[in-house]
Amino acid sequence: MSLASSTKRIAKNTLLLYIRMLVMMAITLYTSRIVLHLLGVEDFGIYNLVGGIVVMFSFLNSAMAVSTQRFLNYEIGKGEECNVQKIFSTSLIIHFFLILLIILLAETIGLWFLNVKLNIPAERLTAANWVYQFSVFTFCINILRVPYQAAIIAYERMAFYAYLSIVEVILQLSIVYILVVSEFDQLIIYAGLLFVVAWIIYFISYFFCRFKFTTIRFQFTWEKSSLKKITSFSGWSLLGSLANVGAQQGINMLLNIFYGVAINASVGIANQVSSAIYRFISNFSVAYQPQIVQLYAAEKRYELINLVFKSSKFSYFLFLILSVPVFAYCEPILQFWLGTVPEYSAGFCRLIILYLLFDAASAPLWISVQATGKIRNYQIFMSILILLNLPFSYLCLRAGLSPYSVWLIRFLLNIVAYLFRFVYLKRVMDFSPVDYLKKVVFVIFIVTFLVIPIPWCLVYITDKPWGIILGIIVSLFSTVSIVYFIGLTKSETDFVKVLVRKLLKR
């Protein structure tokens, strides 16, 4: 596969995924506002906190999802269709065992932690337990869905992937209207209906794969070679996933212990805003991830390195364009969206945006590491680095520092992680850190430096609604212009033109 055809395919997939994302973002932001209003700050905080306990077990699922995606892409890139079914069947068996393990952990350690350690008002403890049980089984259904979703992405059926995601958020929107008319405990009803939605989406994924892909058929197999490859890779991925989930949920628990359940609502709001923006980047990474693994499997190193450099810049710039106006006008945006804004929400939102900027640029690097399969030393170092967030955050909160300090620590450690990734790639493939610094890091630094002054000045001109709207428009236009004319090379501007032409034709 040539770099030109790879670029065209990524352009097509990106457009499909962006249509998906725009619909999802609009519905999700609206839904979040209504859910916060209906549940109230306390119940909304409880849902985010209790759901967070279940997410703590997601490190197991994340590791398997990464492994399944990688090996399916790799076999497709090699043209070994006969091995695709073996990989799929083996991964599905492992996912069944994973569900049993998660239920065991959730119903013992997780249940104990919920009822004994968390700071939840006594009158809402029963509701919290109902939410917890629904969250556990919703999570298990989503685990079962992973191999099918991995197959859809590996075969680059992005149109179906986009439509399915839109159906999912529409179903979640319908939950809001059921909550309005419901006379039962709204927190419990909300969690229960999300469980029903998860089942519906799973069955749609299952039947699509069943009828569209001849290789995606479950056949009981206990092939040791496939089992060993997947479990070995997922074992090291498990370490990294555990570290990520541990840091994320550990910080939520620390904030709960030191500041109470209300601050978890602020974290939940900030996460939803940043996640809405980050969907632009995740959509882009979904579009290029199969290409990176398949190019590595086909031993096309020159095309691979070019794609990694280009994807790093585009991921960063896409996130920068969207995050600059949100960062500058965070308070009025949250006020317009929510009406009543929980304390600390705007500050958390800004710090999470800074953190995710480096994640955006890093995504092609860690995907490339996964493509090589040589992840042991990488995962060990990254896990240690990520888990350092917990002791540092505890010390800051114990010393009486602001809750903002925990995300400032995450941001600083993420810079170190970013630098480590492209240095590590030098050891496992023909990758030049010096070229990456010159062609990617230096360029995004210059662009960011030039972008900052304009929105920063506009914020202080006026706080009137017309001034805010004008400031957001000018910030977007100026950031896009600086990125296009200064941040991109000729081949990269050609890539943008391909995207725009395809968009205009639709």
93 contacts 223 by C-beta, under 8 angstroms: no
* First-to-final CA distance of the chain: 26
Q: In 104-158, at which residue ranges do the beta strands (DSSP E only) sit?
A: none
| Alpha-carbon dihedral sign for residues 417, 247, 35, 16 | positive
80-105 pLDDT per residue, tens: 666 777 888 888 888 888 888 888 88
**Per-residue pLDDT at 371 exceeds 90:** no
Provide the 3-class DSSP secondary structure of residue 399: coil
Q: Which is more confidently placed, 220 or 441? A: 441
pLDDT value at residue 38: 66
| Range of 7-11, 81-85, 496-500, 502-506 with top mean pLDDT | 81-85
pLDDT value at residue 445: 92
DSSP string across 309-326: HHHHHHHHHHHHHHHHHH
**Per-residue pLDDT at 446 exceeds 90:** yes
Q: Which is more confidently placed, 446 or 289? A: 446
**Per-residue pLDDT at 185 exceeds 70:** yes
| Burial of 96 per CB tally in 10 Å (0-12, 13-18, 19+) | exposed
The dihedral region occupied by 373, where left means phi > 0, alpha psi between -120 and 50, and beta the remainder, is left
The structure's pTM equals 0.71
pLDDT value at residue 450: 92
276-330 pLDDT per residue, tens: 666 666 666 777 777 888 888 877 888 888 888 888 888 888 888 888 888 888 8
469-488 pLDDT per residue, tens: 888 888 888 998 999 899 88
pLDDT value at residue 28: 63
pLDDT value at residue 11: 59
**164 band by pLDDT with thresholds 50, 70 and 90:** confident
| Burial of 202 per CB tally in 10 Å (0-12, 13-18, 19+) | middle
**442 band by pLDDT with thresholds 50, 70 and 90:** very high
Lookup: tokens for 405: 């300090």
Alpha helices in 260-344 (DSSP H): 262-297, 301-328, 330-338
| CA–CA distance, 135 with 226 (Å, rounded to integer) | 31
Provide the 3-class DSSP secondary structure of residue 221: coil
Q: Which residues contact 443 (CB under 8 A, 6 or more apart)?
A: 313, 487
Distances in Å between the Cα of 270 and the Cα atoms of 113, 273, 470 are 25, 5, 24
pLDDT value at residue 336: 78
Q: Which residues contact 95 (CB under 8 A, 6 or more apart)?
A: 64, 143, 144, 146, 147
Q: How many domains does the chain have?
A: 1
CA nearest to 240, candidates 421, 382, 60: 382
pLDDT value at residue 21: 64
230-286 pLDDT per residue, tens: 777 777 777 777 787 778 778 877 887 887 766 777 777 776 766 666 666 666 677
Q: Which domain holds residue 81?
A: 3-505
Q: Which is more confidently placed, 445 or 27? A: 445
Distances in Å between the Cα of 30 and the Cα atoms of 27, 271, 373, 485 are 5, 15, 41, 35
| Burial of 94 per CB tally in 10 Å (0-12, 13-18, 19+) | middle
**Per-residue pLDDT at 493 exceeds 90:** no
Instruction: Tell me the pLDDT of the chain averaged across its residues.
Output: 79
Q: Which of 54-68, 179-193, 292-306, 375-389 has the lowest mean pLDDT?
A: 54-68
